[in-house]
Amino acid sequence: MNLENLYAWSKAYLNPSRSNLHPSARHFHVSSLIIHHISQILLDVSLSDLQNAIGKQGPDGIAQAMTSLTNWARRSPRIAEEVAYNAVRTIVSFAPNKGTHEDDFRNTDTAPYSIITLFLCHLVLWVFSIVCPYEQKYSFLRNVAENEILRSSAFFEVLRRALALDEESIAAQKKGPPYKNNAPNILFKCGAEMLTRLGTWGASLNLALMMLQRAEM
């Protein structure tokens, strides 16, 4: 899918209408929103690199993927931030604050679209928190904070900790070495928790378990 196709998709399926009040229409409308979100993200970052970053092709694949993703973030920092920002928006959409988010996905069964989307969005942010320098992560968090809905969500504090920009992490870094940054792994724990809330779908629970195990590595 390219930008032209994505625009056509948005024109055809994303505009709300009275028909969305019907449960089946609501399902397809929200599913379209979710697919649109993840398509926007995957237009700008390699899916295979994301998968290999957590071991799909073994240790060698991890090293190659992380090198590729690091080069991607350095070569296109603005795009990297846009991808990460879209990931945050999508995650918050599944658990919005006080039901005010424009793309509120709650109370609509959209599996399996929601399963893979939640997984990939947390993975994108995990990669971003590892490959990007401190200054870029600080700038990114500040941009996210400018959106009141994102800033007031419970996920914002998770993001701050994952980027090692919370008070505890900053204090630890100021002490100097040895400092081991395991902060990004909180995103796997958060992703696993969100996936378990999607019901008893086998794929959801399997991905949740994988993310929880990955967080302990």
128-149 residue pLDDT tens: 999 999 999 999 999 999 999 9
pLDDT tens for 161-210 read 999 998 777 776 666 554 456 789 999 999 888 888 775 555 666 777 77
Output the pLDDT for position 100: 45
Determine the Cα–Cα distance for residues 1 and 163; give it in Å rounded to an integer. Answer: 31
Q: Is the separation of the CB atoms in 69 and 123 below 8 Å? A: no
The two tokens of residue 11 are 């024109």
Number of domains making up the chain: 1
Q: Is the pLDDT of residue 81 over 80?
A: yes
In 3-state terms, what secondary structure has residue 16?
Answer: coil
Domain enclosing residue 24, as ranges: 3-215
Q: Nearest to residue 85, comparing CAs of 128, 118, 48?
A: 128
CA–CA separation, 60 vs 94, rounded Å?
34
Are the beta carbons of 203 and 115 closer than 8 angstroms? yes
| Residue bearing the bigger pLDDT, 197 or 72 | 72
pLDDT in tens, 146-159: 999 999 999 999 99
Residue 43 CA to residue 36 CA, distance in Å, equals: 11
Say yes or no to pLDDT of 98 above 50. Answer: no
Residues 92/150, Cβ–Cβ less than 8 Å: yes
What 3-state DSSP class applies to 147? Answer: coil
Nearest residue to 124 (alpha-carbon basis) of 179, 166, 65: 65
3 state SS of 105 = coil
123 vs 31: CA distance, rounded Å: 20
Contacts of 9 (CB under 8 A, 6+ apart): 1, 32, 35, 36, 39
